[in-house]
Structure formats: C-alpha cells, structure tokens
Structure 1
Amino acid sequence: MATICFVGTVGQTLTSTQTGWRFVGWWMLKTFVAGSVILIPIMIGYQQHHHPQRQGILMLTWLIGLITFTWAHYTTQPVVNASQRSPELYVVQQVFITWLLSTALVWASPYLHQLFHRWSISQRRRWLLIITGAFLILNFINGYDAFGFHRGNSLIWFGYLFAIGDWLANDQQWLRQWSPLKYGCLTMVLFLFSTVVTWLNMNNVVYSPHNGLTPNNHYLLAINPYQPFMLITCMLLVAGVSISHPKAQAAWRTSDTYQGILTLNLLGLPMAFTPFLMNNFSWTSGFLLAIVLWVILQGLTIAIVRFCPHWQLSLSISQVNHYLFKTWRRYWPLMLTFVLLWLMTLIAFALLWNGNWTMVQWVMTERIKIVLVNVAIAFAVAIIIMAITNRWWLTTGISVILYGGWIVASMLKITARNEPIIPTDLSTLAAPGAMLGMVNKRIIVIIILAIIVVMALTIWLEHQIGAGSRFSISGRIITAVLAVLYLASFTLANHSSSIIYKQLQNMDDIPYFYSQLRGAKLNGTLLQFANNIDVHTMSKPHGYSRTTMMHIAKKYQREGAIMNHQRLHNSVGHQNLVFVLSESYSDPARVPGLKVHGGDPIPYLHELKKHSTSGLMLSSGYGGGTANMEYQALTGLSIANFSPTMPTPYSQLVPYQKRAFTINQLFPYSIGIHPFTANLYSRKTVYRKFGFNKFYHFDGGAKITYTKKIQNSPRVSDDSAYKEISLNLLRQPHGKFVQMATMQNHMPYNPSYYHERQFKVSGKGFNTPDQQAQIETYIQGIHYTDAALRAWVKQLDEMKQPVTVVWYGDHLPGIYHGLPMGKYGVPLHETDYFIYSNPAAQKLNRTKFTHRYKLVSPNNFGALALEQMNVKVSPYFALLTKIAHDIPATSLPTNGTSKNNAAHQSGRDFINGQGKHVHLNKRQRQLFHDYQLVQYDLTAGHHYLLHNSFLKEVAK
C-alpha cells in the first residue's frame, strides 16, 4: 500500500513539475540526514573510548555556537508562501537540538557509561527491547508519543538512543544469532521503507469543507526524525556492521563521531533559533522530567531484579522467529484475507478520489484509523463466513466477491446519483429486477465473469494448497459471536453515550450527513454506510394514535377559523413571498466583548428593522448548519424535535419522504436560487420533493444571470443575488414564492478578498492577528451586504407587484475564538431578521406591520409571513401561528453540546425575548406537545394529517 502511494505520487511529481528529479534528490538527502540524527547519538553511546582533550574543545565550541545561534533568525516552521522560502532550508527538524544534545552526550558519555554498566547486559537488553517494542506498537496504533520521547527533541529520547548504542557495543554474542547478511538485507529494506513512510507522514494536505483538498507541499517541510522504522533501521545498521569483521568492530568502537557532530553544526545552522521560538519548550521542565522518570525506571528495575528474580523475560531472536513462524503457518490464510481486504479498501478510496494519488495518500496517512475501521468491517464479515464454512480459501473468495460487489455497486450509485449506498437503499432489494434494469448489461456480464473466475481460483487453491489449520467448533462460535457483536455495535454509532460512538469520535469519524459522497470519500463506503444505520427520525410522542391526530385536526380547524375571521385574503393570490437566507449574517456588535471601530458597518439594516416586523432569530447552529435553518423556515418544523441521530433532515429525511409539505406549495409557482453548487445537502432532490418549479444553481440547473463577485472574493455577491431575485419577480406568472440562499459571506474570510478593511475590532473574540483579520474581513463583507440591501429594497418599493420579504441570517460565522459557549451560548446563536412588505403589498393587505417579535425561531417565519400578508390559514398554519405567538424561541442546546450536521446530545432550549432560558408552563407544554405530535405524524408516523385539508385548505 505504502509503495503504491509513494510511486503514484512520485510519478505525478516527475510528470507535473520540471524540477521533479531535484525534488527527489532533496528528499533522499532529507531522509539520510533524518537517519543521521538518530544514528549519531547511538554511535556516541556505542563508543567505549573517550578523548578528554577533544571533549573539552568540543565543549568550548558548543558554548560559542550556542551564544552565536541565540542571535540567529532562522526557523523550521512550515512555509506559508513557497516563493518566500527555499526547501533546502528545511532539511530536517530538530538538527540544532540534536547537535546541542549530542555534544552534551559526548561530554557526559564517561559518566553515562558508568551509570548504565551498573546493570548487566541481559537486563539492559531486556528493558531496551521492551521499551522499543512498546514504542513501536503505541506509535503504530495511534501515533502516541510514548515515554516522553517528545517528537525527537527530549532528553529522554537522546538518553534512550545513547543506551541503545551502549547495549549494541557490549552484546555481541546475542547479536550474532543473525548473520551480517541478514542484518544488511533488513537494513536496506527498512531504509527504503522508512523513506516511503517518512514521505507519507510529511504529507501536508488540508481538507476544507467547501474548497476540497489542497495539494500537498510536504517537500517544503522538514522530516521529523521521530520515525519508528528509521530507528529500527539505524539499530540494525549498527548491529550488522559491528559483527561483520573484527576490524570493522574496532573501527565502530573507536570511530570519531566529532566529524558527524560538526556536520550537524552546518545542517543545524538554519534551524538554530527553533528552540527559542517554541513557547512550550522548557529546558528546566524537560531536565526535571528526565531525572524523575530515570529514577522511577531505575527503582523499578532494582525492585524487579531483587524481589522478583523469577521474572526472567528471556527474549531470543530464535524464539521470536519460532513463534512468528508457528503463528504464520497456522493463520497465514487469515492474514492473507486481511491484506486482500486492505488492498481492496485502498482501491475503493482510489476510485472515490478518481485515482488522484495525492488524495489517496492523504486518506491512507491522515485517515489511517478510518481505513482500518473499513477493513475491520469487511474482515468481520469474512470471519462470519469462516465460522460457517471453516475453509480459508472459500472464505477469502466469497469475501473478495462480496467486497468487490459492494465497491462496484457503490461506484455505480455514485455515478448515477452522486451518493454512496446508505441503509435506506436496501429497500430496493425488494425489486431486484428494477434495480438490475438500471445497470449496463455489459457491466453485469463482466461481474458474472469475475465471480466465476474468483470462485474457480478459490476451488483450485482449496484443493491444491489446502486451507491450513481450521477453527474448532468452539473457536468458530466465539469468533462468529465477536464479529457479529462488532458489526451490531454500529446500531449505536450515533448514540453519544455508547462505546462505539466514543471510539469513532476518537478516530475522527465525521459522518457528513449533509453530503454523503463527501462522507464516503473521507470515511470509506463501508463506514459511511454504518454511520447511517443508527438513524431514526424522531421519538414517538406520548399518546400518538389516529384518534389523537383526528382530535388535533379538529382542534386547530377551530383555532384557524377564529384566526381567519380577522384575515383578509382566502389565498396568497398574486402576492409574492421571498425568503432570503443571508449566509452567516449577524451583527458583530452583539458578540460579547467585541468592539467594532470605524462606525456602524450595517446602518441600513438597523434603520430598516425600525420600520418592519423584526428582531432576532435563535439559530440552531454556530458556524454551520445552513440547511437546517432553511428546512425549518420552509417546513415550519423544528430541528429540536428530531432525534439527535438525524441532525440534517435535508439529506437524511426529505429525499425518502413520500411527501414533504412546505410553504412554497401554497403558491402557484415557486423558485429556488442558490449561487453555488447544489450537491451539498442534496438540494437538487430536496427542492424537487418540495415542489419547486425551478432551481437556479451552478450544477446544471436553471442558469443564473447575475454572478458578479466583489474584488477578490470567490463568492457571488449579495448584490448579484438580490438582482437575481428581482429578475425572477418581474417574470410571469405572478404569485410566486422565491427561496434564496446567498453565499457572499460564507467562510473562509481571507484578508485578501477585499482591497480595504474599513472597520477594525478589539476586545474579545480573537486570539491572534490572523483571527482579528478574519473578523474584520467578515465585517467588510456584511457592510457590502448592507449597501446591496439598501439598493434592493429601493427596487422592491418601485415594483407594482405586492412583495413580502422574510430576510434572516442563518448563523454566526465560526470565527469568534475564546468565547466559552457555555457562558455566551445565546448571543452566539442570535442572528438578525426582518419581514418587510413593499408599498404595493402594504396597500393590498391594508396593514403596515411593525411588530416586534424580539426573538423567534426559523420555524416561525412561515406563520409570521402569512400573518403579515393577511392570508387566511389552514389548520396546520393555525398551529404554527400559535407556536410563534405563545412558545418561546426554540433551539437545540446553545451551550455547545449540539453539533452542526453530526449526531449530538439530545435536548432543546427555550429562550425568551430577553435571552433567558425558561421553562414552559402547563398550557405551553400542551401546545408544544400538539406540535410534536403533528411533526412526528408528518415525518416519521403514519401520516394521518398528511393531506390538503389539514395542510393547505383554509380553516372554516
């Protein structure tokens, strides 16, 4: 796997750049130096003869160099702008520290040798092998920084390397269990493997939700010497050469490492200042920690030797070889199956990323734990098959066929619907003929032939080679039960209290429910499928039944009839209603502790809110969750009522509903506009389900006319978005509903987007100058929005058509750092909104609304809009109107426990107009319970109310 990724990436590098060979040369040099950084401390420990005069001279040069380097201005920090730095400066990390501490080791080596030789060679070998093995295992499992090695710059790390060298110099008899040839071959193989692993570990690809994956630039970064395989390579090199010939042994024992240290002086010069720039680097704390750990280790060693003499951990290369061979001989078919499934997982990721090796490399290094989960899922299925058949080759063949079929089916669905296989697709298995009818006949033939070939090969291998050892009856039962339990654990994958949930969170599993294809690319098709198993729409409210729902229908029929006595219009008629979701819009002046200098960046919005129905909206998200606010505004349903395992109804619920009712269905014609991609949140499918007649977007939908941007910003401006709305309002027919989700103020907020930043900020909300610049860029953006809003409202006022606008910010941008959500949760979830009617609408409706609903929820907007338009309501909107009037603003918990687009903890907050958490009284609890019953019935229940007489027809 590593070799494939390495060759693929190098191939791209050599074919895509003119300096490819130069790049490879520098990379090999970096790898060599990284090995030297480990090898030199080992060699210092290996030397048993000391030169006091040279040590004194070296100590003097060390002091002079330390004073000189203190004034240097070089660093090994990552390059931001590749044109400003040269990759030659970044040869290896911590060279200066290696030079510093290696010089100290030379000076202190006589005393360290005396200290180490207090223990026998067998004791030193035993403990060093145990520490090395534990280090390798822990690092392989999760990259754990074991034993305080601290990424190769701690005193403990260099003391460990010195001890390795001292042991190798004095344990020749034990080392001779292997021949020099074996050591040499293993050293070469491991060196090449170390080069590949180092390459992969230095990959610097960064994932951005809306910009994809950035190209790697790891050739500009230094190699970290904290590489387990490089460590083993150096150990084998020293061991092999030291036993090769008596003269070689003598040369190794008396070799002059001072030249190596002087070489490090030159290599370390550009990085000399690094330790002085590290905020968390403390010589005192590191030295004290080394002393404490050394005392503890020495005490444990003495205690074990003295009081537990029977604890003789006899470690022999021959014994290790025996156990490894025995294990391999018994279970090699099982291991082969695992390797095949691993390779197939790699192929699956390559297909998901269209063969882009940079992206595959990123997944296989940065997401290695996630890859292992996918392999584990496939391997668990293989174990179950083995428990049934008890034949390795048959199990391998069936597993390969099943996993291969899964990969093919996933890619076919992605090609057809831009979405991987999820559990709801299993319903299509009931109609296999229809499902196969959508697949190209040639593909079906190829699949059948592939199955025949694999099964024939499996049968031949079963007879020719045999299957090795098989499981006993008890072994088959135990392994099958364990595999089934593992697979069954994913039924709790989204329960925040479950073990599997916590484990997946530690592995950085991000389901990306709002973009299933993105989730599959990052998590793999198998894990993404498993992420969607533990999803249910909503818990059944108490008392749900047909009788109860019929009672509720009659109850709100009466309530609606009372409301309608005071309403003017029986239908929306030729009125137009526009919902504008203003991306990430919220007044920064309300952010706790943040001060904005340079005037009011949004003066027109503040003025407009004084003359319209307006206030604040309680968002269910912070820094994200746009589609959830859009869903609540269009449907009138609250995200807080849904199960925590379904955080994104747009992609998890709506595509699978037989009918989804939304306010646009009250209008003769409805339009959706989103000047961005429509693949996120399954918007194409959702808007079709909602009954929109047209959807304007950048992925093959109706063509957007206005697409201008502001200066260097990559997003379509709000001015263009508003012009697009006006253009569609002027088109026939009238009586339209328009849904607009803008993009101008979407993250990121790069300071280079706008030529100037008129507004400055101070106080809380940022920790660094970069964060401050992001906030100021964001404020400049909403200032441009304010100007565009002024011009648009002027256009609306000149229209003869009656137009009502519901305008709201969906959430705050996620750029305010250092503000605890537990303390400032409510203000960090409050955005601006207004409901404005142009003069034509005011005249038609005979009212001019300037109500002050201080704090509302997005699910209130539909009812409030119909109220402002003076339109009579159906029983459903009668219920929503009472919710808007009588229930405080409702949201997911505002304390930060709820996540955007990911399973989260259950609960909801009720917030009054003063921003205080409140509890519902008895009357409010009954009303809210009715609301929950209706929401359950329309989404997850038996749909007793999913008909026009409750949803659309005017209550009488």
Structure 2
Amino acid sequence: MNRQTLPLGRKRLAKSLFIGTALLLSSCLLSIGVEWISRGSLWETLAWIRRNTSIYALNALISGSALILFYSLIGSVFLAVGAAAVLLSVMAFINYYKSMLVGEPFFPWDIILNKEGMDVGPLFTGAQDLLKLAVILAALGGLIYLHRKLKSRLMVSWISRGILGAVSLAVLLSFGLQVSWAKERVAKAGVDDTIWSQQANYDSNGLLLAFTLNVQNAQVPEPEDYSADKMASLAQGLTADTFGEAIPAFNQTDGKEPAAPQKRPNVVFIMSEAFWDPTRLSNVSFSADPVPTLHQLQQSYPSGTMLSPQFGGGTSNVEFEVLTGLSMSFMPAGSVPYLQYVNGSVPSLASYFETKGYRSLGIHTYDGWFWNREGVYKELGFEGFKSKDGFINPEYNGLYISDNEIADSIIHEIDQSDDPVFIYAVTMQNHAPYTDKNRYPSGNTFKVEGDLTEEARDMLETYAQGAHYADQALKRLVEHFAQSDEPTYIVFYGDHLPTLGLEYDLYRQAGFVQSGKPADWSLTEYKSLRSIPFVTWSNFAAPEEQQVNTISASFMGSYVLDTLGMKPEGQFALGSKLYRSVPGLIRNLTVDPSGALSHTVPAGSEELVEQYRLLQYDILFGDNYLSRFVDAPFLTKEPMANYNTLAAAVKEEE
C-alpha cells in the first residue's frame, strides 16, 4: 500500500467521524434546546427526557434529519447547525407563546397562515426569554467562528451531501406520512398520538415529533361505516320529519294584533370580535355596566350561552361552525377548515337563504385575505363579501375600523335592497391585544376594582371599553330597526373569550379558573372558558322561540331557522334534532338538555352524533351522497357567477 494513501484515508475517516459526531451531538442538543424553549423550563425538559428516553430519541432523529438536510444544501456543518437552530428555535418560541396565549400548540397548518402568522418578537420581555435568546446568539456566534476557521478542512463532495440529504428527507416524510417502518418506531417508543388533546400530545411526545405526526392529520380519514346505503338511511330519517313553514308575524305598534309581513324578514348574524360579558368575573367589579344593551336584551328577548370551539383566537372556526352547521369536534385538533378543507362548494346558511329568495352578504372590517375569507365566502354561496377595502373613509376607533361602521353597513344593505337580506357580519374593533391602556382616544371610562395586578387591571379596563363599544353598536342597530318597517331578525354573539395574559393570567387572578394549565381544569372551568353570551332581537313577533341555556355554535343556524319557522334542510335539519338532544357538543365536552357536563356523548344520543359525523364527512370530504337523497337545492348550489360584482358596483358608485 502506498504510504501516502494511508494518511489520506485516515484524514477522510477522521473528517467523516468529526462531521458525524458533530451532527449527532448537535441533534441531541437541538432537541433539548427546542424543548427548553417550548416548555419554558430546562428542569422540566430534563425530567421529560428521563421519563421518555425513547420518545426523546425520536425527537433527536427528527431534528437530526432536519439538520442533515440543511447540511446537504449548505455544505458547512457549522452553518447548517446554525440554520437548523434558528428554524427550530422559531418553531419552539411560536409553540410556547401560542400555548400560553390560546391554549393550543403550533401546528403544521399554521404555516399556511402567512401574514396571519404569530409575531413573537414583541413578547420577548421576560428574563428567561432573554436568557434563551442569549444562548442562541452565543451559539450562532461560535458556529460562525468555527465555520471560518475550519471550512476548508471539512469540505465533502456534493454527491455525498446529496445522498445524505435524500436520506434525511425520506426520514422526515416517513414520519410525517406515517409509513410502516416509521409507524413501528413510533409504536415501540410508546408514543400516544393524542389528537383529541393536542396540548397533551405535545407535552407527552415533544414539539418536533408531535408537529411531524400532525402532518397526517391535515386530512380527515374516511369513517369505516361511511357508504351510500348509510347516507340513504340517514337522509330518510331527516326527510321523514316535518317542520313548520310559517312566516313570523310582524309586530305592529298601533295596538292591533300582529299581522304577517309581506316578505320574509331580513336575517342578520353579528359575530362580534372577542365579545364576552366581563361582569361574569365574580372577584372584580366595574364602576359601571360595560355591556348594558346585552343585559337589557337578555331580560326581554330569547338569549342564552353559545358554546365556542375556540378560546382567544381561531375566529374562522367559529364562523365555519355557524355558517355550515358542521362541527370542529370531528376534525383534527387545531385544524382550520377555511385554509385546509374548503376547496370547493360547501352548503351553508348563505346558499340556503339564496335558495329561499334572499340576497346573501358577508361583511368584515378587516382584510379579505385574512383566513382566506374572500375565497371561502364564494364557496359558501354568498352573493358578495365586503371586506375592509369596501369601506370608504371608514371611522377607526383604536387599532381597527369601528363597530359603528359595521352597523351602518348592515343598515345600508337592508334599506337599499328590494329583496330580503341574509347578512353575516364579523367585527374587528375589539381584537387583541388589550395591553395598551391608551388604546382608545376617549380613554378607558370603566374602572375595575378587585385583587388584580396593575397590569391585569389595565388590560381588563381596556377590554371592557372595547366590549362597551361593541354593545353600543348593537344598540345602534336595535334602535334603527325598531323604527323600521323592514322586518328584521338579529342574533348577536362573540366568537371566543379574549386572551387576557399568558397562561390565563387574569382569569386566574379573578378566580375564574384555578390553574393556567387546561389539563388541570374541571369540566365546569373548561365550559366557562368556551361560553359566549348570545342574544336575539326582532322587530316582529316571532313564533315562540325554543329557549336554550347552552347551544353549540354549530347548531346556531338550525336554532335560528326553527325560530323563524323556516324549514331546516340537510345538515341544519339534523342540527335541529341535535341541539334538543345534545345542545353542547365541542371537543372534550358535551352538555345534555339538563345542563349536565361530560367528556362523552349523553346516553341515547350516540347514534345521532354518529350520523352527524357521517353527514359532515359526506359534505366536506365524501361523495355528497346526501344531496342525492334529499331534495334541498342549497346542497348542490354552485358558487354564484356574479359573486362580489354587486359589491364592486356599489363601491364604484360611492
């Protein structure tokens, strides 16, 4: 053997060993760092590793695969480690803050949000966060120094890097798509893919593994019992029921008996951003009632509690439930139907009312791209959608367009239309954050007393001020239509409770919940943080309304159709049955007609809930069997060819 080949071979071997050791060690350290950031505690991270060594190894395998993929592209071990550290650290910080703010971890589909993604920069205020950031920056500085010093000694061929990159990509895809060998490794490690409780999933399995396993949850699997025969049987049960078709009587003001209106009433849904009743916080008091209109209407008109599938965010999911009559309970936790599943025509309240001779319009005082509403509203059968761009010189109050602009827009649309109008309006004025006590030009006129920190008190006063403005916009609508000869029905509610501090801080200080960790909550506490007040109002004498104490957002459409004496069809017909049998149905919680709470479906309602699950799959992902067996034109209604053309014409005229 040539003497010169031995040293060269040894050099290559030494270089390979160094690169391999560096990548292996870096993978292990990256996994620890990710969990440290994500969990907020290094000691908690180390304790998790001791309890779950095999699961930690899988997290290290995923971080290592990502690292090797970067190495194959960059060609420098040190720069690859730096790039992987930045990417994984950003993921961990987003996961940490998202979990603290809204009780949900970071999901693969959150990446689709683009502009709607979380900006965690302003949240870096604590000493622990600054320490983590300092460690990351110091490590990056060291890596850049090593790259400059050792770059020429650690170069390898692009062929070798290409092979490594292909293998690492295959590993990542295998775990994401759950191919057989990866599924076996996951099972042997004792992983419990708890999709029904994603926070528990991430806590048990680690951020990287839980995030990767969630890739497969972007698609909803077909139920085993889904078939044409099953849907035919379900449809037969729906069409066998009879529902009233009476048109409500208009409430005259001259003392005469109410007379039937000449046309169907306008129907207005108002989903007020983060609207909630802050006076429900028992350990605090307000200098004045911030929501007097809500309380007045609750005393005089049918009202109750709407059970929301969300807390602190995810407005579009609440909107999806109300408009479609479908439930987030049957979808992967953390999914966003507007971004993932509405890829074609989906029957909704908008298409239902269109088939009944109504015009349908969506209104929102924010950007049309937000949650992809502009495209989704078309697929839901709306005639038009008016976003922020549709408002000419709108009034702002604080950070966003005022709720009064929404009220005025609703009034304008109804007053100028010859046909009855269905409107779904979504406000923006009271959107988070609430940390700036000088947010509103008028200042905070509601003072809070109670055992709260100054920061929490300022936050609650700012929130109460915003809730008051929303309450006054509702009053503006009621007062207008009380004097109008246009029969109009209004249902008003919020989308979710507001985020008031990390780890539910204000709610804990006010005694609303005892812990900042959802896993520790009782069913009553869980329900409290999902319970939104709703009120209805009409300027005519509606048929006797079915009074409910609690109703899920997905059943609100059925409830309103029943109230108006209009025949519920398709999923709304099934919803009409469901809210009488299981009025509250969200993930991890059901409420029976007596108000009893449970994690499981009430006895006797299991078959009905299973039908609901099958119907939802059929509409969103299946073969639309229901539309073949039920005579309901809205089930097959295509998006309107003139979508948004009328709204554009109005804007040009203005």
User: TM (normalized to structure 1)?
Assistant: 0.45
The answer to whether residue 138 in structure 2 is matched with residue 227 in structure 1 is: yes
Distance 1:601 1:230, change over 3 A: closer
> Which of the numbers 885, 888, 892 marks the counterpart of 2:587?
892
Residues 351, 634 of structure 2: 8 Å contact kept: no
The answer to whether residue 538 in structure 2 is matched with residue 837 in structure 1 is: yes
Which structure 2 segments of 5+ residues have no match? Answer: 1-21, 42-78, 98-114, 125-129, 196-200, 250-259, 636-654
How far has the Cα of 1:938 moved from its partner? 1.4
2:575, 2:261 → 1: CA distance? 17
Max Rg structure: 1
Residues 568, 871 of structure 1: 8 Å contact kept: no
Letter in 1 for 2:556: F
1:581, 1:691 → 2: CA distance? 19
The answer to whether residue 446 in structure 2 is matched with residue 535 in structure 1 is: no
> What is the CA deviation profile of residues 627-664 of structure 1, one whole-angstrom value per residue up to 9, with x for unaligned ones?
111111111111112244x7211111112x35444444
2:319, 2:410 → 1: CA distance? 17
Aligned twin of 2:267: 577
Aligned twin of 1:626: 315
The answer to whether residue 624 in structure 2 is matched with residue 928 in structure 1 is: no
> What is the CA deviation profile of residues 263-322 of structure 1, one whole-angstrom value per residue up to 9, with x for unaligned ones?
xxxxxxxxxxxxxxxxxxxxxxxxxxxxxxxxxxxxxxxxxxxxxxxxxxxxxxxxxx9x
Letter in 2 for 1:617: M
> Which of the numbers 228, 231, 234 marks the counterpart of 1:546?
228
The answer to whether residue 483 in structure 2 is matched with residue 798 in structure 1 is: yes
> Which of the numbers 625, 646, 654 marks the counterpart of 1:944?
625
- Count, aligned residues: 492
Distance 1:144 1:948, change over 3 A: closer
* 1:132-151 equivalences in 2 (<5 Å): 143=33
* SS of equivalent residue, structure 2 residue 627: coil
How far has the Cα of 1:788 moved from its partner? 2.0
Aligned twin of 1:595: 284
1:658, 1:228 → 2: CA distance? 50
Aligned twin of 1:665: 352
Residues 274, 496 of structure 2: 8 Å contact kept: yes
Which structure 1 segments of 5+ residues have no match? Answer: 1-131, 152-192, 236-320, 339-378, 384-481, 512-526, 894-907
> Which of the numbers 168, 175, 184 marks the counterpart of 1:489?
175
2:27, 2:607 → 1: CA distance? 58
Residues 492, 534 of structure 2: 8 Å contact kept: yes
2:23, 2:238 → 1: CA distance? 71
Letter in 1 for 2:244: N
* SS of equivalent residue, structure 1 residue 853: coil
Distance 1:806 1:138, change over 3 A: same
Distance 1:738 1:857, change over 3 A: same
* 1:702-717 equivalences in 2 (<5 Å): 703-705=390-392, 707-710=394-397, 713-717=398-402
Letter in 1 for 2:403: D
> Which of the numbers 393, 396, 414 marks the counterpart of 1:729?
414
The answer to whether residue 301 in structure 2 is matched with residue 612 in structure 1 is: yes
Distance 1:920 1:566, change over 3 A: farther
* 1:31-180 equivalences in 2 (<5 Å): 143=33
Aligned twin of 2:549: 854
Aligned twin of 2:276: 586
2:229, 2:174 → 1: CA distance? 37
How far has the Cα of 1:830 moved from its partner? 0.6
1:642, 1:217 → 2: CA distance? 30
2:410, 2:631 → 1: CA distance? 31
2:475, 2:613 → 1: CA distance? 39
* SS of equivalent residue, structure 2 residue 399: coil
1:679, 1:948 → 2: CA distance? 36
CA RMSD of aligned residues (A): 4.6
* SS of equivalent residue, structure 1 residue 909: strand
Aligned twin of 2:563: 868
> Which of the numbers 567, 572, 586 marks the counterpart of 1:877?
572
How far has the Cα of 1:694 moved from its partner? 1.1
Letter in 2 for 1:489: F
Q: What is the identity percentage for the equivalent residue pairs of Structure 1 and Structure 2?
A: 23
Residues 580, 593 of structure 2: 8 Å contact kept: no
Aligned twin of 1:692: 382
1:571, 1:643 → 2: CA distance? 45
1:935, 1:233 → 2: CA distance? 53
How far has the Cα of 1:829 moved from its partner? 0.9
1:638, 1:786 → 2: CA distance? 28
How far has the Cα of 1:533 moved from its partner? 4.8
* SS of equivalent residue, structure 1 residue 872: coil
> Which of the numbers 529, 543, 550 marks the counterpart of 1:828?
529
* SS of equivalent residue, structure 2 residue 367: coil
* SS of equivalent residue, structure 1 residue 852: coil
1:499, 1:887 → 2: CA distance? 24
2:431, 2:612 → 1: CA distance? 33
> Which of the numbers 676, 681, 698 marks the counterpart of 2:371?
681
Aligned twin of 2:340: 652
Distance 1:532 1:694, change over 3 A: farther
Letter in 2 for 1:628: N
Residues 883, 927 of structure 1: 8 Å contact kept: yes
Letter in 2 for 1:648: V
* 1:340-355 equivalences in 2 (<5 Å): none
Letter in 2 for 1:814: T
Residues 346, 379 of structure 2: 8 Å contact kept: yes
1:792, 1:880 → 2: CA distance? 29
Aligned twin of 1:760: 447
> What is the CA deviation profile of residues 864-901 of structure 1, one whole-angstrom value per residue up to 9, with x for unaligned ones?
111222223335433221112222311122xxxxxxxx
How far has the Cα of 1:623 moved from its partner? 0.3
> What is the CA deviation profile of residues 432-458 of structure 1, one whole-angstrom value per residue up to 9, with x for unaligned ones?
xxxxxxxxxxxxxxxxxxxxxxxxxxx
2:219, 2:143 → 1: CA distance? 50
1:946, 1:688 → 2: CA distance? 20
Aligned twin of 1:636: 325
Aligned twin of 2:465: 780
* 1:150-549 equivalences in 2 (<5 Å): 213=119, 227=138, 328=154, 331-333=156-158, 380=165, 382-383=166-167, 484-492=170-178, 497-498=192-193, 506=206, 533-537=216-220, 539-540=222-223, 542=225, 544-549=226-231
1:588, 1:707 → 2: CA distance? 28
Distance 1:810 1:538, change over 3 A: farther
Letter in 1 for 2:138: Q
* SS of equivalent residue, structure 1 residue 637: coil
Q: Which has the higher contact order (CA 8 A, sep 6+)?
A: 2
How far has the Cα of 1:925 moved from its partner? 1.9
How far has the Cα of 1:775 moved from its partner? 1.7
> What is the CA deviation profile of residues 515-542 of structure 1, one whole-angstrom value per residue up to 9, with x for unaligned ones?
xxxxxxxxxxxx9xx9655422355163
Distance 1:139 1:737, change over 3 A: same
2:571, 2:31 → 1: CA distance? 54
Distance 1:763 1:564, change over 3 A: same
Residues 564, 873 of structure 1: 8 Å contact kept: no
2:210, 2:449 → 1: CA distance? 34
Letter in 1 for 2:468: H
Distance 1:681 1:139, change over 3 A: same
Aligned twin of 2:429: 744
How far has the Cα of 1:510 moved from its partner? 11
1:573, 1:757 → 2: CA distance? 43
Letter in 2 for 1:227: A
Residues 570, 626 of structure 2: 8 Å contact kept: no
User: TM (normalized to structure 2)?
Assistant: 0.64
